[in-house]
Structure 1
Amino acid sequence: MPYVASRHNSLIAHVVTIVFGLIALIILLHLAFVLLEANAGNPLVAFFADLANWFSWLFRDMFTVDDPKVRAVVNYGLAALVYLLIGGAIAGAGRRWAHD
């Protein structure tokens, strides 16, 4: 039976895409707070900082750059990119698996 591409994706692929996208969004929102020098004592800023730190624990101090903003862009940006790539890869594999 030949493979026929379809626009219908599995529910699991959508859920994986949404979950990994939300994780990347949390990390990028924290990065925006860092770049805009948001008040770290604000409960919302602290909440997103805690979440972003938890999700990006492998990447937080990967590169040591003297400027804290550049360090945040590199480390947290890398973490967000990795989450997007992993989520896309898992969702793509799920879509291909659903069509087989």
Structure 2
Amino acid sequence: MAEDVGSGMHRGGVRRADVRRAWHRTLGVLITVVRWFGTVCAGLLAVHVVLTVGGANPDNGITQFVASWAERLALGFQDLFTPADPQVAVVVNYGVASLFWLLITSIATKILAALGGHPR
């Protein structure tokens, strides 16, 4: 079946406008997922800083859970700076890692939005 130029139909009766809408909807969902993922990663790193500086019990399950995820999400930043005070090291290194996640998330969502002409 040939393309119907007047109606904007593709083969199988799918309209270009419908495809475009589906693409924008999918892109919007992907942008939201990326934004939430980056925010959760940055949040876990920030919670790790608060628990460490606040003197949370290292044997507590919540503290262990957050610390194990923070270690994974720090992406090599956990020992970037080596100040004498270990608490300052956690604040600086995990704080930088948290900012990194926010920056990367922002860049990724802008790139995704630009791919589809999305207004975000």
Q: Is the TM value for this pair above 0.5?
A: yes
The runs of 5 or more residues in structure 1 that have no matched partner are: 1-7
Offset at 1:12?
0.8
Query: 1:28-60, CA deviations, whole angstroms, 9 ceiling, x for partnerless residues?
Result: 001100110100000110110000001114111
Report the equivalent of 2:94: 76
Aligned-partner Cα distance in 1 for 2:72–2:29 = 27
How many residues were matched structurally? 93
1:17 to 21, 35, 41: 35
Runs of 4 or more off by more than 4 Å in structure 1?
none
The residue correspondences of 1:46-61 to structure 2 (distance < 5 A) are 46-61=64-79
TM-score by length of 2: 0.73
Whether the 8 Å contact between 1:10 and 1:98 is mirrored in structure 2 is no
The CA RMSD over aligned residues, in Å, is: 1.5
Higher relative contact order (CA 8 A, sep 6+): 1
Of residues 72, 80, 85, the one that matches 1:67 is 85
TM-score (norm 1): 0.87
CA distance in 2 between partners of 1:67 and 1:57 (Å): 21
Question: Larger Rg: 1 or 2?
Answer: 2
